[in-house]
Amino acid sequence: MTHSPDLSRREFLTYTALGAVAGGTLRVRAHTLTAQDILERIKQNIGVPWAAETVDTFKDGDPTTAVTGVAVTMMATFDVVQRTAAQGANLVITHEPTFYDHFDKLDVLEGEKDAVTAAKRAFIREHHMVVLRMHDHWHRRRPEPTVQSLSRALGWEQYWRPEAEILFRIPQTTVAELGATIRQRLRAPTLRVVGSPSLRVTNIAMVPGAAGFPLHRQTLRMDGVEVLVIGEAREWETVEYVVDAITAGEKKALIIIGHIPSEQVGMEEFARWLGTFVKEVPISFVPAADPFWSPK
């Protein structure tokens, strides 16, 4: 089948032939779902007011691009972008930044002609891809989807404390046993722990991602919290605070899962949720690889 030179490649690919008609005219019907269309559907279904100021915006590519498939991921690493293209999809929906800054600022990177940034952007353009971030509004849903997904992955749904969705009262265990369970169930091989391995605990608080020291400290001060489970933290903030709390005689521990494994299951849930109202194109979850490893 050939197409008119006046019809762009993208326009041509978004048409489906319905059949030839007398006189040589071909009747066609458009099946165009653009990246912008998908964002509009997300806004309609997210269940919270859409903020005027948000990081949930397009980070690269043309939003009017016709979508061939959607890849949902925790982090749009170059590896994830390449795997997305290899499976024939061209829209990446990522939870975390694409260009190494919370606001995906490109002025300094491109001003300095950063080679890594240039290679990643060139690949996105060459493969007619679009990258959309989905962070703020996903976290604003209630119950909060990432904590809810983590609780399911850990088998903790029945242990929720009613006063806050980030709090759990689990059967008594040691910090060592708790850390081992989380590492295995969340596939977090480089999980790190601060505190005594033999400390017996039951009250857990879970704050995935990189919530920052103020929230970490406030959560540790909540009634009865013995263990704070987080994605990541600066070592001279939350980590030092927990070390000092232990030295001061408090019954505290900190488990650092790693940012990607702490929020990966939350974006897997996003892919499932997106598929309930976007059905014209395939949607897949493309996990980001945990970059860390420990020497044997």
Rounded Cα–Cα distance for residues 238 and 254 (Å): 9
The rounded mean pLDDT for the chain is 91
Which CATH superfamily includes the segment(s) 35-140+264-285? NIF3 (NGG1p interacting factor 3)-like (3.40.1390.30)
pLDDT of residue 6: 40
Model-level pTM? 0.88
Domain ranges of the chain: 1-31, 35-140+264-285, 157-256
Structure confidence by residue, pLDDT tens digits, 18-62: 333 333 333 333 458 999 999 999 999 999 999 999 999 999 999
pLDDT band at residue 244, thresholds of 50, 70 and 90? very high
Contact 71, 281 (CB under 8 A): no
User: What's the confidence (pLDDT) of residue 31?
Assistant: 59
> How long a stretch of residues is the chain?
296
User: 22 versus 285: which is more confidently predicted?
Assistant: 285
| pLDDT value of residue 112 | 95
**Residue 162's pLDDT is what?**
86
- Contact between residue 74 and residue 286 where contact means Cβ atoms under 8 Å apart: no
- Examine domains 35-140+264-285 and 157-256 and report if their fold is the same: yes
49 DSSP assignment: P
Which range has the worst mean pLDDT, 9-13, 125-129, 253-257?
9-13
The answer, yes or no, to whether residue 234 has pLDDT greater than 90, is yes
Mean pLDDT on 196-220: 97
pLDDT, tens digit (0-9, with 9 covering 90-100), for 93-148: 999 999 999 999 999 999 999 999 999 999 999 999 999 999 999 999 999 999 99
How far apart are alpha carbons 275 and 267 in whole angstroms? 12
3-state SS record for 142-207? CCCHHHHHHHHHHCCHHHECCCCCCEEEEEEEEHHHHHHHHHHHCCCCCCEEECCCCCEEEEEEEE
Topology (CATH) of 157-256: 3.40.1390
